[in-house]
Structure 1
Amino acid sequence: MSSPTVTLIVRPRGKPIKNLPESVTVSSDASTSQIFEKIADASKFSIHRLRVTKGSDGSPISNASDVKVHDTGLRNKSAVDVKDLGPQISWRTVFIVEYLGPLLIHPLIYLARPIIYGTSEPASQLQKLTLLMCVIHFAKREYETLFVHRFSSATMPARNIIKNSGHYWLFSGLNLAYWTYGPNSPAARPSNPLLTYLGVALFAIGEVCNFSTHLTLKNLRKPGTTQRGIPQGLGFSLVTCPNYMFEAMAWVGVALVNRSIATVIFIILAVGQMGMWAWKKEKRYRKEFGDKYKRKRYAILPGIW
C-alpha cells in the first residue's frame, strides 16, 4: 500500500523568490530532502541557497535523506516558509582560499626582502625556520581541506569569504610575515638554542596531534551524511576540541622560534575565536547526545578555558 501524499503550502519569507511554487506534494514517508528538491526544481535555485522552515513555529526543516516528512510534524495543507540565502559558496572552497593566502604570502614576503626592507643581508636561520614552519602548517591545512575534512554544511553565503579570509590573510599572513622577515625582527638575531628546540618540538607535536584529531573527527561522520558520533581518543578526554588545543600548541612553538609580538597577537585572536567555537560545540554535544556524552569542563585549554 502506497504512503499518503502531503501537499504543503509554500510561502516566501523575506524578499520574493521568482518561480517559487505555491505548493509542493510529497509522500509522507519521503525524506525531507525531497521538499528542497521540488522547491529548487521549480524556482531554479540550488537547494543550498534555500532555507525552509515550518510555518507553524518557524523551526527549520532539515535537508537530510534520513529524516522523513511525517517526522517533522508536517501534515496535508501545512505551510512552509522559504527564504533565499543568497549566492552560496562551498565550505571547502572557503577553507582553500583562507589557507592559500598565508601559504603564498610568507614565501612572497621572504623572497621580496630586498625590495620590502631595502636590505641585502641574508635571512637568518630562525627566519628560514619560521618560513618553513608556516609553510608546513598551511600546506597541511590545505591537505586536510581537500582530503580529510567532512563538512556538516555544504555551503555558506559567498559574501562571507572576505570576512573569513581576512583573519588568515591579514594576521597570520601579512602581519606575521612582515614583522618576521625584516632585518630588525627578533628572528633576525640569535636566540637561546634551548628556546628554539622547545619551539620546534611544540610545533611538531602540535601539528601531528592536530592531524590525528582531524582524522578522528572525520571518522565520526560517514560519507554523504551529517550524523556525528561522540569523539573519543587523543585529547578528547581533556577538552571539547583538542584539535584547537594542539593548533594553539603549534603556534606557541612558532612564537618561541621567531619571538615576534605579531605571532603572539595572532595566537590571542585565534585562541579567542577557537574558544568560542569550542564552547558552541560543547553545547551542541550536550544537546545532541544527552547523558551519553561526558560533559567537559574545559573547551580548549585544560585548566584555563
Structure 2
Amino acid sequence: MEVKVESRSGKDLGNFKVQESTKLKDFKQMFHKKYPKWNPSRQRFNIKGERAGLNNDEALLSECLKEARVLVFKDLGIQLGWRFVYVIEYAGPLIMFPALYYFPQLFYGQAAERTFSQKVGMAMAVGHFLKRELESLFLHRFSNATMPLANLFVNCGYYWVLHGLFIGYFLFHPQYTEPSFAPGVKYGLIAAFLGSEFMNFLCHKVLRDLRPPGTRKRGIPHGFGFELVSCANYFWEIVAWICFAVFTKTVPSYVFLLGTVYILSKWSMARHKRYIKEFDGKEGKPLYPKSRKALIPFIY
C-alpha cells in the first residue's frame, strides 16, 4: 500500500510504501530517512481534509487511510524536551522572588523590613516552584517527548514575568500593606496551602504510577479527589493559589490566579473528554465514571 504525503501548501513530498501494520511512529522514521532535516519530533501528520493530528502509537495507517491515502505534513519547528522546558520556566520565580526579597535596594532604592505576610508569601511561592522542579526532574512521565521552541518563551513569560516579577515586585515593595486578617485566618490559609500542595503531589504520583516508563498509556486515576474530578491535580493547584492570593492580598496575585484558572479549566476539559473517549467500556476497556466532572466537583 502506498501513502502520498503533501505539505500544508499542497507541495508533493512523495509516495511511501507501508505495511498493513505500520504505525505513525514507524512512518515518521521512514519520512525522516527521506528528509533528514525533519526529525520525528518535528513531524505532524493529519489526513487530508481533517484537522486532527494522528497519534503516534494508536493510529495505524491502514485504518486511518482506508479511503483517503493522503497525509498532510506540518513542520513543528525546533523542539525541546518537556522536562527541560519545565525546569527553565519554573526557575523564574525561584530566581525573581529571592532577588526582590533580599535585594530591595536594587529594585526599590531602599531597604525594607519584611512583614509576616511577605515572609510567608516568599516561602509559599519558593516552596511551590521548588516542588514543581523536583517533580519535573524525578516524578513526571510525559506523554510527549518534546514541545516547540516557541512554547519556551510563552511559558517563561508566564512564570518569569507574570509571577516572578509582577507578583514579586508588589509583594515585596517597601510600601506593601500587611493584610489585617486575624491570626487564625492567616494560619488557616497557610495550613490549607500546605495541604493542597501535598494533595497535588499525591495526585501527580497517582498519574505517574498509571503510566509505564517509555509509554503514553493512561489509566483511570482514583483517590485524592479523582473520584470527583478528572483533573484533581489541577483542582488542588488552584486551591493552593487561592490561598496564596488571599494571604498575600495583592492585585497581581489575583491576576495570576485568574490566568491559572482559565488555563487549567481548558486543559482539564480537554483531558476529561479524552478520558471519556478512551475509556468507553468497549473491547474490554473500563467505562469512565459518568459522575466525574472535569475540574470543579459537581459543577464543571
TM-score, normalised to structure 2, is 0.88
Q: Which residue of 1 aligns with 2:5?
A: 10
Q: Where does residue 54 of structure 2 map in the other structure?
A: 61
Q: CA deviation at 1:216?
A: 0.8
- Judge conservation of contact 1:202–1:252 (CA < 8 Å) in 2: no
Match of 2:177 in 1: 186
Aligned to 1:158: 149
SS for the counterpart of 1:96 is helix
1:281 aligns with 2:276: no
Residue number in structure 2 paired with 1:49: 42
Q: How many equivalent pairs are there? A: 294
Aligned twin of 1:91: 82
- 2:97 is the counterpart of 1:106: yes
Q: Where in structure 1 do 4 or more consecutive aligned residues deviate above 6 Å?
A: none
Is the aligned partner of 1:35 residue 2:30? no
- Given candidates 190, 201, 214, the residue that maps to 1:224 is 214
CA contact (8 A) 2:97 2:126 kept: yes
Shift of 1:127: 1.4
The alpha-carbon deviation at position 238 of structure 1 amounts to: 1.7
CA contact (8 A) 1:126 1:258 kept: yes
- Letter of the 2:88 counterpart: V
Shift of 1:23: 2.4
Counterpart of 2:214, as a letter, is G
Match of 1:3 in 2: none
- Inter-partner Cα distance in structure 2 for 1:96 and 1:108: 19
Residue by residue over 1:4-28, the C-alpha shift from the partner in whole angstroms, topping out at 9 and shown as x without a partner, is xx332332333869xx5x2223332
For residue 120 of structure 2, the aligned residue among 93, 107, 129 is 129
Distance in 2 between residues matched to 1:115 and 1:219, nearest whole Å: 45
Could you report, residue by residue, the CA deviation over 1:185-226 in whole angstroms, capped at 9, with x for unpaired residues?
Answer: 134x77522122112101110110000001111122211111
Task: Say if 1:36 and 1:52, in contact at 8 Å, map to a contact too.
Answer: no
Q: Distance in 1 between matches of 2:50 and 2:113?
A: 66
Match of 1:139 among 101, 125, 130: 130
Q: Secondary structure at the match of 1:52?
A: strand
Equivalent position SS for 2:279: helix
Match of 2:288 among 263, 274, 293: 293
1-side partners of 2:114 and 2:50: how far apart? 62
1:245 to 220, 224, 235: 235
Residue deviations 1:147-183, cap 9 Å, x none?
2222222222212222222222222211111111112
Q: Which amino acid aligns with 2:187?
A: Y
Structure 2 stretches of 5 or more lacking a match?
282-286
Write the letter of the residue equivalent to 2:198. Answer: V
Letter in 2 for 1:167: Y
SS of the residue 2:186 aligns to: helix
The letter of the residue matching 1:40 is H
The unaligned stretches of length 5 or more in structure 1 are 1-5
CA distance in 1, matches of 2:158, 2:54: 32
Partners of 2:111 and 2:174 within 8 A in 1: no
User: Which of residues 164, 170, 180 in structure 2 aligns to 1:173?
Assistant: 164
Q: How much has 1:282 moved relative to structure 2?
A: 1.5
Partner residue of 1:202 out of 185, 192, 202: 192
**Residue 288 of structure 1 aligns to which amino acid in structure 2?**
E
Please identify, of 207-216 and 269-278, the stretch whose mean Cα deviation from structure 2 is larger: 269-278
> Measured at CA, do residues 172 and 296 of structure 1 come closer, stay the same or move farther in structure 2, by a change above 3 Å?
farther
Q: Is the 8 A contact 2:228 2:298 kept in 1?
A: no
Aligned-pair CA distance for 1:288: 1.7
96 and 15 in structure 1: CA distance in 2 versus 1, 3 angstrom threshold: farther
Taking the aligned partners of 2:174 and 2:15, their CA distance within structure 1 comes to: 67
Q: Do the aligned partners of 1:26 and 1:34 also contact (CA within 8 Å) in 2?
A: no
The alignment's TM-score, normalised by the length of structure 1, stands at 0.86
Question: 1:235 is matched with which residue: 209, 222, 225?
Answer: 225
1:17-52 residue CA offsets vs partner (Å, 9 max, x unmatched): 9xx5x2223332343322100101221111011112
CA distance in 2: counterparts of 1:62 and 1:126, whole angstroms: 48
Cross-structure match for 2:284: none
What is the RMSD computed on CA atoms of the aligned residues? 2.5
CA 1:55–1:257 in 2, change beyond 3 Å: closer, same or farther? closer
| Contact 1:105/1:177 (<8 A) preserved | yes
